[in-house]
Structure 1
Amino acid sequence: MTKMQNLFSLKGKEKDSQTRLEQSVQQQPEQAVRHIAIIMDGNGRWATKRHLPRLAGHKAGVSALRRVVECAADEHIEMLSVYAFSTENWGRPRSEVDGLMRLFWETIRSDLEKLHRDGVRLRHLGRLYDLPPDLQKAVQDSVDLTKDNTRIGLNVCFNYGGRAELVDAVRQIIADGRDPNTITEELISSYLYTRDLPDPDLVIRTAGEMRVSNFLLWQSAYSEYYATSTLWPDFGHEDLLAALESFQQRQRRFGRVSVPTT
């Protein structure tokens, strides 16, 4: 009989503890999400499932990006950084690379005026000099046109690699003749492509993969990660809300310990 009483007592304590935990979570103020970075994965698989060429998946991915930019702006997210083309993607079949270059050019040409009207501020992150000259000009023109917009920032990581970014930063630090004894984390950050941008609070990866793929390696040191099995072309408002809800359940300690509330 005593054992039974002890068992019920333990269960009651567990229930009370769970209730307190739930109440604590509910009472915590919402954490602000200023900057979301997205690894837009799954375009090829989306196309393959539909017996379509891979480029059709990339086109569907552009439509998803348009949708997500609008949703993020509605949710008062200040900034999105999207992984559109990596430095490693040059190793894909030539036809796919050429198709992605054309798609990037066509998207800038077709969407720029609307993005500008909608208050989107565009920025390119990556090695611009490796792109074709006409594409370089189109990118720079889009950045110049939208530089004063304030509704949401959209950083397009095209020909971007986290390691390449660090190499470029180190090269420039050396070229500037910096004293090694003066090199700090803040100095290195000031030489990155993202030099005047906040680090991402949340990194979303679609299509169920669980790797960082050389994306914002320095900047995401203390970002929260969220992975979803949804393929990028199918990603929408509900998926974004699910990621934001998951973020609100996290405790961001940045290497420190949390202080218990009384």
Structure 2
Amino acid sequence: MDLLSFAYPFYERFLAWQIAKTPSNIPRHVAIILKETDLFDPKGLEKLLSALGIFRKFGVELVSIYVDILKTDLSLKSEIASTLRARLEESFSDLPEGTGYTIYGVDGEVNVTSPGKDFFVYISLGFGGRKEITRAVLTILGKVKAGSVKPEEVDEKMLESHLLVKHEPDIMIRSGGQKLSDFLVWQSVYSELYFTDVNWKDVRRLDLLRVMRDFQKRQRRYGR
């Protein structure tokens, strides 16, 4: 065993102690951006379940996950999303009691949902933020046309009420050293961003602890 491998467990415990020491500054809403290949890899799916357990243990209340499906053909994209949904449903049956989740398909419609008490997971399979905002605007315009909403009543709060995820993430995580997608483009305007060169299937508990510890050290300015 080399020196680094020997030191990792001690460093993990040190990070966990530091995080627990300031629980009031733990991110309550974490967003993760994944690629479709991350969840087709058994190790990637296993890492997701492990990450959810770690976040829940340290007081995170909500995790939003966007699976970036790169295929442009709608039928193929829908087929991939359907396969991923089935894999996620099967895996989520082992989540701890009290965990709830909602999985959205490529059209932004709810594929499956399960109620939760103290921890909730949103998953969007290929339905990005631009489509989310466009659909919200069209829905509101339809209500204005029908007369159920007056034009002067349309504001930010009304738009937000028509989005899939109505909560602003505290931090957004992108593994693999890539750029952000358009996930939660409205909700994440003041979110902290965290990029890691490590591919998702290789992400360790240590890496996730670093994310939370890094967040605790940041001074959030919310656009100021």
Q: Report the structure number with the largest CA radius of gyration.
A: 1
Tell me the equivalent position of 1:124: 103
Is 1:212 paired with 2:192? no
Greater mean deviation of Cα atoms: 92-101 or 32-41: 92-101
CA distance in 1 between partners of 2:82 and 2:201 (Å) = 18
Identify the match of residue 62 of structure 1 among 45, 66, 80: 45
1:7-29 deviation line (CA, Å, top 9, x unaligned): xxxxxxxxxxxxxxxxxxxxx99
Displacement of 1:223 after TM fit?
0.2
Counterpart position of 1:237: 205
Matching residue of 2:25: 31
Query: Is contact 1:42-1:207 (8 Å) kept?
Result: no
Aligned: 1:77 with 2:63: no
- Aligned mates of 2:78, 2:136 — CA distance in 1: 26
Task: Work out the CA distance in 2 between the residues paired with 1:194 and 1:128.
Answer: 15
What is the CA deviation profile of residues 130-153 of structure 1, one whole-angstrom value per residue up to 9, with x for unaligned ones? Answer: 7xxxxx7xx33xx1xx31x22311
Residues in 2 aligned to 1:56 and 1:31: alpha-carbon distance in whole angstroms: 34
Q: CA deviation at 1:94?
A: 8.0
Shift of 1:75: 1.1
TM-score (norm 1): 0.67
Counterparts of 1:122 and 1:69 in 2: how far apart (Å)? 11
- The unaligned stretches of length 5 or more in structure 2 are 1-21
Distance 1:39 1:212 in 2: 8
Q: Please tell me whether the aligned partners of residues 38 and 203 of structure 1 are also in contact (alpha carbons under 8 angstroms).
A: yes
Deviation at 1:129, TM superposition (A): 6.6
Could you say which structure has the higher helix fraction? 1
Q: Distance in 1 between matches of 2:78 and 2:213?
A: 36
Q: What does 1:98-109 align with in structure 2 at a 5 Å threshold? A: 98=79, 101-108=82-89
Residues 151-230 of structure 1: matches in 2 within 5 Å? 151-177=118-144, 178-195=149-166, 198-209=167-178, 211-230=179-198
Correspondence for 1:113: 93
- Percent sequence identity is 28
Letter in 2 for 1:34: R
Shift of 1:91: 1.8
CA contact (8 A) 1:35 1:80 kept: yes
- Structure with more strand by fraction: 2
Cα offsets for 1:35-68 (capped at 9, x unmatched) = 0001124947xxxxxxxxxx853x3321111111
Question: Aligned residues, how many?
Answer: 199
Structure 1 contact 41–205 (Cα < 8 Å) conserved? no
Q: Taking structure 1 as reference, are residues 41 and 249 closer, same or farther at Cα in structure 2, changes over 3 Å only?
A: farther
| Residue identity in the other structure for 2:127 | Y
8 Å Cα contact 1:43/1:231 also seen in 2: no
| Displacement of 1:84 | 1.9
Instruction: Supply the distance in 2 between the matched residues of 1:129 and 1:34 (Cα, whole angstroms).
Output: 24
Return the TM-score normalized by structure 2: 0.77
